[in-house]
A = this chain, B = another copy of it.
Amino acid sequence: MNNDLNTAEYFIKGILAGDISILSRAITLVESTKEEHQDLAGKVIDGVINHTGKSFRLGITGVPGVGKSTFIESFGIELVNNCHRLAVLAIDPSSQKSKGSILGDKTRMEKLSAHPRAYIRPSPSSGTLGGVTRNTFETILLCEAAGFDFIIVETVGVGQSEIAVSQMTDFFLLLMLAGAGDELQGIKRGIMEMADALLITKADGNNLQKAKNAKTEYAHALHLFPPSDSGWIPKTDICSSINNEGIKETLSIIEEYKRLATTNGYFKKKREQQLSNWLHQSISDMLMEKFYNHPSIKTELDKIEKGIGDKKINPYRIAADLISMWKN
């Protein structure tokens, strides 16, 4: 249509001016798989890159039912009341039905989504994990350029996306339910180790004592892990989002972390490491994509994988053969 509305220049200006509808359209470009959209998105990001990096990035995860939306609603209101400009990004590569659930999220985050200093944006659920995390990372950059100084990246605590999220955020918050028996039910191995803080939700009514017990239990378990490179010892706390209890305290924990990590230089170091990781990860992803999408590689690999189990194979020999086939 009007070509002026589709130039990189137009997007860059709009984003830097904090125009939310232009920001939203730019994120749609980032998420598009069409090559011309990707090209344009790349130019837009190049154009705003020097205005990125200034937000605090918070990763939040927890199993379905833990009350992520309700927590983010309460916590987000606390943030905007503290004059933060908040963007909430949801990432859920595993679910085809998240389109529905994110609409649901928006409805549940009623006050937050209506607030002028808040912006709620789901990542699309289609595509590979690599694609979704790339979209999310670039969306963070766009939101920062548009002036958001606090970014929440939300994911579901049941898959691999947590690792990706912990690698693009400054602080990783794990929400948990107090439960009987196995306290870690439903949480994948390893996620607990990545957490900078562990928050027991729904600590109200009959559930309060259970939540307090779980807090003690988790604090003990976290204590068994060695401290991370930041020198930060993960904190455990309880909260009730509906009663707005433990919300300010959670923000205090995060602020305490930020002070520590800024003072000892870990904050900057971690960001640099993350960038370097993403660079190498992107190289790896793109190379793999080109390799695995080659038609004759697809056919060959399919045959080989079906044979595993009946036939003994030396994986190194097969890899070498496939790669030389691809190169020629």
Task: Count chain B CB atoms within 10 A of each CB in A53, A268, A287, A291 and give the residue with the most.
Answer: A287
Please, which residue of chain B has its CB at the minimum distance from the CB of A183? B224
For the complex, give the distance between the alpha carbons of A317 and B53 in Å.
17
For the complex, give the distance between the alpha carbons of A111 and B138 in Å.
60
Decide if A318 touches B279 in the complex (CB within 8 Å). Answer: yes
The reply on A49 being an interface residue by CB < 8 A is yes
Decide if B224 touches A319 in the complex (CB within 8 Å). Answer: no
The reply on A103 being an interface residue by CB < 8 A is no
State the Cβ distance, A188 to closest chain B Cβ, in Å.
Answer: 8
The reply on A16 being an interface residue by CB < 8 A is no
Q: Which one of B223, B279, B308 lies within 8 Å of A315 (CB-CB)?
A: B279
For the complex, give the distance between the alpha carbons of A200 and B116 in Å.
58
State the Cβ distance, A15 to closest chain B Cβ, in Å.
Answer: 14
Decide if B49 touches A313 in the complex (CB within 8 Å). Answer: yes
Please, which residue of chain B has its CB at the minimum distance from the CB of A317? B42
> Which of the candidate stretches A64-72, A89-97, A201-209, A270-278 sits at the interface with the other chain?
A270-278
The reply on A156 being an interface residue by CB < 8 A is no
For the complex, give the distance between the alpha carbons of A193 and B323 in Å.
34
State the Cβ distance, A158 to closest chain B Cβ, in Å.
Answer: 11
The reply on A180 being an interface residue by CB < 8 A is no
The reply on A256 being an interface residue by CB < 8 A is no
Q: Which one of B137, B290, B314, B319 lies within 8 Å of A46 (CB-CB)?
A: B314
CB neighbours (8 Å) of A224 from chain B are: 182-184, 217, 221
The reply on A295 being an interface residue by CB < 8 A is no
Residues on A facing B (Cβ under 8 Å): 42, 45-46, 49-50, 52-53, 134, 137-138, 141, 182-190, 193, 217, 221, 223-226, 228, 268, 272, 275-276, 278-279, 281-288, 290-291, 304-305, 308-309, 312-320, 322-323
For the complex, give the distance between the alpha carbons of A268 and B138 in Å.
42
Decide if A189 touches B316 in the complex (CB within 8 Å). Answer: no
Decide if A190 touches B187 in the complex (CB within 8 Å). Answer: no
Decide if A184 touches B50 in the complex (CB within 8 Å). Answer: no
For the complex, give the distance between the alpha carbons of A287 and B283 in Å.
11
For the complex, give the distance between the alpha carbons of A315 and B213 in Å.
44
CB neighbours (8 Å) of A290 from chain B are: 323
State the Cβ distance, A28 to closest chain B Cβ, in Å.
Answer: 17
CB neighbours (8 Å) of A308 from chain B are: 272, 275-276, 279
27 A-B residue pairings within 8 Å (CB atoms): A42-B320, A46-B314, A49-B313, A137-B315, A138-B314, A138-B316, A184-B224, A186-B226, A187-B226, A189-B226, A193-B193, A217-B224, A221-B221, A272-B308, A275-B313, A275-B315, A276-B305, A276-B308, A279-B305, A279-B308, A281-B315, A283-B288, A283-B291, A284-B284, A285-B319, A286-B319, A287-B287
